[in-house]
Structure 1
């Protein structure tokens, strides 16, 4: 999953805690890379808990849960979620296109017959 702000992809982690942060935006789990965390306003784009106002949310199994106060609510269905973000450029963040390009490079001309 890429950083929701800049699109950077997470690399293999070193031992210990990950420097990447998790959050919820438009009822979807997102990651924030260490570079984007240095911007002051990165947390402003995340959803907040309706009970306590915290941005420490996790989204799993169709629910959004606050890690601070424990409040849970149903996440909006994926086809109804509107993030307000600018639409991605064609091919931007399209993992299937990236995988196809990587396979093409590795196989050089297609699969063995």
Structure 2
């Protein structure tokens, strides 16, 4: 999953904690690269209880990492499963990578 703000791709991390942060935007999980973390226009969802933006989205719920408050995720399909946000051009990148690995021209 790329950085939702600039589109940078996450590379294999070195040992230890990842410098990338997780957040929630419009009810869906997003990643924030180290370069974008200080930006003022991140537009992340905030906890309705404490105002924190340290939220994670899992199993159709958004949970605040600071106070533990939970709420349903906003972005959903008719089946109730979260609809993944697909970055533009991702399918073309995957196809190109498969062609390289499989030796297709």
Kept in 2, the 8 Å contact 1:23–1:58? The answer is yes
1:98 aligned to 2:93? yes
Q: Which runs of no fewer than 5 residues in structure 2 stay unpaired?
A: 79-85
The change in CA–CA distance for 1:38 and 1:76 in structure 2 (over 3 A counts) is closer
Larger Rg computed on CA atoms: 1
Aligned to 1:35: 35
CA distance in 2, matches of 1:38, 1:67: 19
- 1:30-69 correspondence runs (5 A): 30-39=30-39, 41-43=40-42, 45-69=43-67
Aligned Cα root-mean-square deviation (Å): 2.2
TM-score (norm 1): 0.76
Instruction: Give the total of aligned pairs.
Output: 98
1:38-68 Cα distance to aligned partner (Å, 9 max, x none): 32x144x100000110101000000001111
Q: Which runs of no fewer than 5 residues in structure 1 stay unpaired?
A: 81-87
